Amino acid sequence: MSTEIRPFRIEIATADLDDLNDRLDRARWPRELPGEGWSRGVPGAFLRELARYWRQEYDWRGHEARLNEFPQFMTEIDGQDIHFLHVRSAEPGALPLVLTHGWPNSFLEFTELVDRLTDPGAYGGDPARAFHVVVPSLPGFGFSAPPRGTGWTAARVARIWVELMRRLGYERYGAQGGDFGAYVAPEVAKAAPDDVVGVYVISGLGFPSEKDLPEMTEDERAAYARLMEQDWMNGVDHHGLLRAAPQTFTYGWHDSPVAALAWMIQKFHEFNASGRPLDEVIDRDLFLTNVSLYWFTGTFGTSAWPYYESTGFGWPEGQTVAPTGVYSGPPGIRRLAERHNTILHWPEDNPGGHHFIAMDQPDHLAADIRAFFAKVG
């Protein structure tokens, strides 16, 4: 097995850009279904306007150049080509930190966060709390190769991350993750307990389930009720859909940019807990760059493996081999999280917002990551 680390640049062929534009020009638009707002799915006017902007005003080449400002690499681990960003801080003593993105996102999830972690002084933070940042693309996401065969789990991904950090020469580091990354980051600590100094997750630890209700307080039951009312708990069941028939839906997402765009809008809308319109929470160009990455890499289907490899939904549990910190405690319950974690950092006053908080609140997230790892030492 080769252990070579190869430089990588994003270079989407002009023919692929022309093909996308041609498909957008020839979009076949359906009739509107009855119902107001989002009651039947993505509103037609919203989708048409974003598709128009994607076709006529969005500048892929400009964003491609911006992404290529980050040092990017490829290396083969476990038979997989793994794409990753590796941005070293100029600060002496910076702590290495591996960030794991979620679905339906990509390494792009952290592009607004990287500089805030590697150069905190430029953003009003303590330069002594800087990080060397590693952002791998999950197998089957973006430029990482799709999994070969079945049998993939968060633990298997974590073992790849451990080997990647070893290959980069890091013997002491932190692990961070949200969404699917909240399952992977604790597994990194389990796989390398002598190397991982702390695990930081966005949210999801200590989330109550129905079986916890008998022992919950009145306030906790109220929080549970609010949790169950959230759009992301009651929208399109992507867990069930992608477990049951991901190949069937992939044909549409892979062939039609409008279908792909509508699917992404649907999920990012449901994942928006800010109370504000989606386009006020996540920058439109940032969102479209993520959609474009999925489109150009053909990964709408290959990124579905965390779901069709699962047998059902369960909240992340965490681990006990390293201290744990979270960005957002509620609606998680700390004492429930402490069944499986050594909680060192559990704030309840961080600003909420979108599920992908790094795209919505990068300043607050970076500051909280620094606060947690300062406690770790």
Q: What is the greatest pairwise CA distance in the chain?
A: 60
* H or E, element range at 86: strand 80-87
β-pairing, 173-177 vs 131-136, is unpaired
- Of residues 119, 179, 285, 368, which has the active-site annotation? 179
CB 174 within 8 A of CB 197: yes
- Of residues 294, 307, 327, 360, which has the active-site annotation? 307
C-beta atoms surrounding 180 within 10 Å: 21
Helix axes 257-270, 14-25, angle to 10 degrees: 80
The residues, any chain, with a CB within 8 Å of residue 291's CB and separated by 6 or more, are 54, 260, 261, 264
Helix, strand, coil abundance in the chain, percent, nearest 5: 45, 15, 40
What is the C-alpha to C-alpha distance for residues 19 and 10, in angstroms, rounded to an integer? 18
Catalytic residue at 355? yes
- Of residues 132, 355, 360, 368, which has the active-site annotation? 355
What is the C-alpha to C-alpha distance for residues 199 and 188, in angstroms, rounded to an integer? 9
Q: What is the DSSP letter of 102?
A: -
The residues, any chain, with a CB within 8 Å of residue 39's CB and separated by 6 or more, are none
Residues paired with 80 in a beta bridge = 77
Helix axes 44-56, 257-270, angle to 10 degrees: 120
The residues, any chain, with a CB within 8 Å of residue 26's CB and separated by 6 or more, are none
What is the C-alpha to C-alpha distance for residues 214 and 247, in angstroms, rounded to an integer? 40
Catalytic residues: 179, 307, 355
